[in-house]
């Protein structure tokens, strides 16, 4: 096929390379944003809600506004996390393992979904208390929702985060796209989160801290060369 006059394929290639090189950096910044937002959210929640699951619920009256602000941050953290998933897949390029990438993507979505569910339950609990404080505490609604939020976040959510890290570590180990120390750190934190039998109220901060470390590494060590897709027969025919 004849080339169109005035068209520079070299310029097109440089523009494509430029787009691919800026995507990981932008998404790495999103990973840092996710880490900071979620860490602040957890810190506010853990400092506002008593550790004793059988507490009287007085914090709903004294710290309700503080908790509401923490819950308001969660959707923005979730959006940033989706960008972080994108940078992991984009950095792998043609070395992406479809099997483990599917597990990575699925566990990441489940983690965000469970975080959103726990956030919605917490917001509903505060709203119920503001509408009728006595009934919320005495009819068992408070105890039920509090236990549900704890299990969704600290049992299922934490383990999905562990599966996400385990999948990422396996992909990096097989592809060689990350240093060995990062793979070892990822496996260590993942195994702790997946198989730990007890969870402290600050245990959930491990995952956003790991995301922060990975995101900073992506910013400091961008890909030396862009990873482009292999040329297919259809691409050759199109030219």
DSSP 18-60: HHHHHHHHHHHHHHHHHHHHHHHHHHHHHHHS-S-TT--STHH
Tell me the pTM. 0.79
Distances (CA, A) of 186 to 7, 10, 106: 46, 39, 18
Tokens of 45: 């929640």
Q: What is the pLDDT of residue 6?
A: 47
> For the residues 47-57, what does the mean pLDDT come to?
79
Give CA–CA dist 133/127, Å, rounded.
9
Q: What is the pLDDT of residue 81?
A: 93
Domain-wise residue ranges, the chain: 17-228
CB neighbour class for 232 (10 Å; exposed up to 12, middle 13-18, buried from 19): exposed
Least confident of 21-30, 110-119, 186-195: 21-30
> For the residues 62-72, what does the mean pLDDT come to?
90
Residue 193 contacts residue 207 (beta carbons within 8 Å): yes
CB under 8 Å to 164, separation ≥6 — which residues? 104, 107, 108, 111, 190, 207
Each residue's pLDDT tens digit, 149-159? 888 988 899 99
- Quote the longest CA-to-CA distance of the chain: 79
Give CA–CA dist 56/220, Å, rounded.
48
CB under 8 Å to 133, separation ≥6 — which residues? 60, 61
pLDDT band at residue 1, thresholds of 50, 70 and 90? very low
Q: Is the pLDDT of residue 181 over 80?
A: yes
Q: Is the pLDDT of residue 226 over 50?
A: no
| Helices then strands, each counted (H, E), the chain | 10, 0
Q: Is the pLDDT of residue 117 over 50?
A: yes
Half-sphere exposure for 187 (CA within 13 Å, toward CB):
12
CB under 8 Å to 44, separation ≥6 — which residues? 66, 67, 69, 70
């Amino acid at each position: 096929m004849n080339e169109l006059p005035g068209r520079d394929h070299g310029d097109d290639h440089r523009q494509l390379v430029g787009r691919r090189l800026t995507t990981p950096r932008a998404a790495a910044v999103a990973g840092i944003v996710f880490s900071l937002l979620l860490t602040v959210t957890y810190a506010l929640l853990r400092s506002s809600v008593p550790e004793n699951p059988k507490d009287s619920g007085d914090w709903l009256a004294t710290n309700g506004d503080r908790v509401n602000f923490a819950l308001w941050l969660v959707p923005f953290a979730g959006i940033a996390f989706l960008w972080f998933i994108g940078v992991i897949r984009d950095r792998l390029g043609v070395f992406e393992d479809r099997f483990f990438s599917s597990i990575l993507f699925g566990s990441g979505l489940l983690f965000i979904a469970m975080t959103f569910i726990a956030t919605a339950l917490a917001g509903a609990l505060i709203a119920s208390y503001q509408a009728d404080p006595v009934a919320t505490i005495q009819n068992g609604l408070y105890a039920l929702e509090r236990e549900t939020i704890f299990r969704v976040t600290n049992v299922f959510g934490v383990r999905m985060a562990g599966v996400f890290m385990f999948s990422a570590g396996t992909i990096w180990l097989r592809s060689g796209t990350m240093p060995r120390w990062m793979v070892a750190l990822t496996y260590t934190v993942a195994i702790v989160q997946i198989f730990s039998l007890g969870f402290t109220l600050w245990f959930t901060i491990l995952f956003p801290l790991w995301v922060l470390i990975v995101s900073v590494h992506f910013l400091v060590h961008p890909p030396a060369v862009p990873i482009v897709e292999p040329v297919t027969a259809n691409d050759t025919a199109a030219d």
